[in-house]
Structures are given as C-alpha cells and as structure tokens.
Amino acid sequence: MGKRLLAVLLALVVVLAGCVKTKSDVSGEKDGGETKGGGGSDKVTIELLGTSAGEEDMNIVRDQLIKNGFDVKLNIQPDYGSFKAQRDAGNYDIALSSWTTVTGNPDYAVRSLFKSDGDNSNINDSVVDELIEKASTETPDEFKETYKQLEQQIVGEKAYIAPLYISFKAQGVNKDVLNPDTVRLAKSRAIAWETIDFKDASKRDADALITQQAIGSLTSLDPIKGNDGSINTLNTNMYVRLVNLTDDDQVVSEGSLSYNYAIGEGNKDYYFILRDDINFAKVADGKAVDTGERVGADDVVFSLNRAKDRDSVPDHRTYSLHESMKNIEVVTDLAELEDAKLSSGEGSVLEALGEGLESDITELVGDKTAADSSAGKYQVVKVTTNEPFPQVLNYLAHQSAGIVSKKQVESINTYDVAAFDVNKDIPYGDQRTVTEGASYDNHLYASGPYILLKKNDYQADFVKNPAYRAGSEFEPKISSVTVRFIEDADSALSALRNGEIHLFNGVPETKYELVENDDKLVLQKNDSNAVTYLLFNASDRDVAKSENLRKAVLYSINQDEFLNYYQGNKKKAYSTVSPLVDTGNELVADPAKVKQFLADYQAE
C-alpha cells in the first residue's frame, strides 16, 4: 500500500520502519520496554521503532522528544521483515510509518488504516468509524468538513498518530538508455511499464528494462492478498483493471479492460463495457505464451466478488477496500442500458457506453467467447454499491481489483480456507511458485501487459504478455523487464548512476541534486499522496492507555525541522488525508502543552 513504509511506492502501501539496537547513545535508553523512566530518572522513556532506511527521521524525532523532556530508545531494524516481527511483538511505543494513497481518493486514505475493521488498523473508535462512513457517501463539496472532523478526532482529540510530513514523488531516468518522454510518473498509481521505450527502439526485443524496488520478499502475486511496496507495482503491471487513474488521479478507461464506463442515476450503479482484445498469458518453457483464454465478464465477476469477500482467501488484505460493492453482474438485456439514466441527468447509460466505439452496440452477450466488438456484440458488467459511493471507481483502479482468471484460480485454490495450512497449501500467487529452485512451478495467469517469469533473492524477471492489446498503442514496447531488489536508497541511486539500472523510482529528497547534475540522468518530480507519521502502540505499553502521553509526544513534533532537513522538499501533513483534501488542520509544536500533558500523565 505502502512505504519506510514504502520505498517503492507505491501504491499502497503501507510500509512501516523499525530496528533492534540504537546506533547512537541515547539518554535513558534501557533494554526493557518500559515507557516510564527508570534507573533513577523521572523522565518518560519512549521506544521508537523503525528501519535503517528511516534512520534520519528517527534521529529528528528522537532529538525533538529529548528536547521536550523524554528519554528515547531507538529500535532500528535492518529490514521490513525484522521490523514487522518487532511491531507484531509489541516492542515499541511509536513506530515510524508511512502510507501512500495509491487510489487517489480520501476514503482509501483512512478506511484501511483507521476504521475498526480496517486491514491495517489498530484503532477501535466508533466516532472514527461513523465519520469514515459518512464521508464515503458524500460529494467532494460535502466531505471536506467531514474529513476535517475525522482528522481532528484521529490526531487532535485522540492522538492515534503523530504526522510528520508529505513527500514528493521523484524518479531518476537514464536518458541515454530510455526515452524520458515515455516514462510516466503518476501522483498515485504505480508506474506503468507498457509505455516505456528505449531511446533506441531497435533494442526493444534484445535488451531488458532494468528497474528496482526495495522489497524482495513478495507478499503475494494474487492481487487481493497484498497491499504493500513488495507487490503494488508488480501486480499493477500483471493484472488489468476495469478502469485506471491518470497521472493526476482522474478515473479513465484508457489502458484498462473497459472501452467506457457510466454511472447510473443515484450513484449506486456502475456500468463497464468490456474490451475483447486481451487474453490471459501463462509461462511455458521459460516463455510467456497466449493461453487462448479471453479476459471476460465471468473473470470480472469472479475477481470482484472474491475481492469484497473477506473469507474468499486466507489472509485477505484488501477486502475493506471493496466492501462498498453489493453486487457484480453481467448485463445481457440491452433494454436495461437504454432505460438507465446517467447520474448527470443527461442521456442514457447506453449512449455513454457506446461513445467512440468502433461499432454500435447491437447485442449484449453473456459468453465471453461470443463477444465481437467489430460486429457490435459486447459484454457489460454492472457493479452496484450498498450506498451511493462514486469513490468505488478509485478502488476499481487499485491493483487489488486486478482481473484474474476464474478458471485458473479455481484450479489452484482447492484448499479449505478455514483450515488453510501455510506449510502445506500452496495458494494462487504464492511467491514460492515463481522462485528459482525446487519449488518453482509457475502457475500465474496474467491479464495485464506483463507476467512474472521467475525470481530469486536479487531480482524478478518479467516478460510481455503476447496477447495484451497486440498492435495497439497499449501493447508493451519493451519485451522484458528486470526488477532488481535494492533496499538501500543510496545503493539504488549508485546503481542508477553507474548504469546498472535504468530507472529509480524513489529518489530521496536529499539526493535530487546528484541526479540533476548527472549529464546522463533526468529527474522527474511530482506531488504524491505519501504521508509519513508516527503510529502509536495501541495494544501494549502506556501509550495505548494514556491519551495524555500520546498527546505529549504529538505536540513535541515540529514539522518545520523536517522541512528544513529535506531542503524544502517535504510538505506539512495532518493526516493521510492531507494530500487529497485541504481541511485547514495543522499540527503546531507546543512545548507548554507537552509539559502539561506529561504532568497529567504522571498524575494518572
């Protein structure tokens, strides 16, 4: 989702950061996890968990807390896996965390993180739940005030998080190898590989596009089972969706499975007319081959039903993004489209779906093999939401709404979900099936422009889907893509400057000048929806019990010091909503408040 919490970003992920030993002497540091000072000190000790990638931020937070009368213990983990183990064990008071809203809508920025039943939530607050649900049914003009109240509850009233900053999004491109004009940098969605081309187009088949990501252990190649920096970009490029986001977060059909989409009157019915020029790819004899199976309406219905069903797979990590969908069905009655009015009040759904098509819509078919756009025979899928909810379109553009093969997934996932044994059962998308060695047995079916061929500890190799939009502008330009696993940002930047990789998505703000001053590189920069914040332990330690202690930490945070450190290449944040809705909320450091809240905490 994710991520830091996401060095990739992308999107959506959340990547949290953590560690075991401190890299510097910190006053009051203890081996234990107590939050109140010990060893003769009357200071409160706060344990800050993060990864080595976030050490600069951790040092700034440490210094601010010490300045406000705390003792600080740094718990710096070398990678996300060890950080997660520390976090799951509760070995922290605050954890350096990050979230990128890869769908471009504010509901996604809060639902998973803060709703009581959210996939990544450690909060249980009925007021928060009510405000999230209220905002989800409102238009942008209406939801601004609701999100303002929500932010105040999460931050100012309860201090469930302490915001640090909003990041920019930047990537370095080797312009001697790639044509920079073909490399996209979207505000929200993960980078799309199919548009990228070499400066010398004759190299498309002979050479690989070489890029990188920080995380090498892949959560899952089943799009609904992961929402983090390990798979957001990979699954985005492996599975087509009903709609996409433009680089500035507008929902469109371009580059998706639909020719057009339409919103019915009342904002509860959403119609999609499907393309008939995409087949699933599979891997055979070390190559990507056309399965001959078209990506159709039955696959869409299957994929979205399992996306919204919490119990469709074990460890479902994205169901809360899709709970707004009540029903997904194939429409075969042309009269329904003629009678259905658009939400705008002007025209019918049939007119909207038929705009710009090669042939007029003369028939709707249920069988995907009978679809033939040249003859006017189309498939239409209708999504109905529980309540009016236009933001459902943003979720349908997310990688977790990627379309999988109903036939293939059902043939692999034969286990009993309730009795799933991670040591015995091999689910669809398990990284073991694509990892080189004895476990390799690639069972993936890709509906998108690329398919993962194989991976090891150092890289993942992708090849183009030969049956994806062949002959169109969306057919992948480059035949193969190699994703190198480089966790450290400085190492990734060095690899870019040395020509070992061609594209580095995630150039640190403090390194912009190195890229800009390199004659063979170009720096691409955009706003992003990535927010870094401190997450409080909600199940253990005194910070879970004491609002006063959390607020003392909150008002110790001076965001200006982060902006100065990053040379102005950060923005102030109040919550994960900040990049999307201007609520006017702002966190202002206040030592006097810190002193009072600490005194109130000590008196508890």
Residue 313 CB partners (closer than 8 Å, separation 6+): 222, 224, 225, 306, 413, 417, 427
Opening angle at CA 112, ends 306 and 546, nearest 5? 145
Based on C-alpha coordinates, what's the Rg of the chain?
A: 24
Amino acid 41: pLDDT = 60
Nearest in space to 1 (alpha carbons), one of 576, 596, 584, 602? 576
Contact criterion met (CB below 8 Å) for 54 and 488 = no
Position 251, amino acid: V
Nearest in space to 35 (alpha carbons), one of 76, 1, 72, 77? 72
State the sign of the Cα–Cα–Cα–Cα dihedral 294, 296, 298, 301.
positive
The residue extents of the domains of the chain are 44-167+528-602, 245-277+296-404
- One-character DSSP codes across 490-532: HHHHHHHHTTS-SEEE---GGGHHHHHT-TTEEEEEEEEEEEE
SS3 content of the chain, % helix, strand, coil (to 5): 30, 25, 45
Instruction: Say whether 369 sits in a helix, a strand or coil.
Output: helix
Amino acid 531: pLDDT = 97
Question: What stretches in the chain show pLDDT beneath 50?
Answer: 1-40
- Looking at the chain, the number of H-run helices and the number of E-run strands are 17, 21
Amino acid 33: pLDDT = 39
pTM: 0.82
Query: What angle, rounded to 10 degrees, do the helices at 140-151 and 126-136 form?
Result: 170
Bridge partners (DSSP) listed for residue 363: 377
Instruction: Say whether 255 sits in a helix, a strand or coil.
Output: coil
Spatial separation of the C-alpha atoms in residues 459 and 125, rounded to whole Å:
42
Instruction: Say whether 553 sits in a helix, a strand or coil.
Output: helix
Which top CATH class is 44-167+528-602? alpha beta
State the sign of the Cα–Cα–Cα–Cα dihedral 564, 247, 7, 391.
positive
Instruction: Say whether 189 sits in a helix, a strand or coil.
Output: coil
Bridge partners (DSSP) listed for residue 287: 284
Count the Cβ atoms, other than its own, within 10 Å of residue 401. Answer: 27
Domain 245-277+296-404 annotated CATH 3.90.76.10: yes
Nearest in space to 154 (alpha carbons), one of 596, 575, 600? 575
Spatial separation of the C-alpha atoms in residues 132 and 147, rounded to whole Å:
8
- pLDDT tens digit string along 274-301? 999 999 999 999 999 999 999 999 999 9
Amino acid 163: pLDDT = 98
Measure the N-to-C terminal CA separation of the chain; round to a whole number of Å: 38
Amino acid 102: pLDDT = 87
Spatial separation of the C-alpha atoms in residues 582 and 237, rounded to whole Å:
31
User: 468-472 long-range CB contacts below 8 Å, 24 or more apart?
Assistant: 468/194, 468/240, 468/278, 468/279, 468/281, 469/277, 469/278, 470/277, 472/277
Nearest in space to 372 (alpha carbons), one of 386, 362, 382? 362
Q: Tell me the H-state helices in 326-482.
A: 334-339, 349-354, 392-396, 406-412
Contact criterion met (CB below 8 Å) for 402 and 234 = no
Amino acid 227: pLDDT = 86
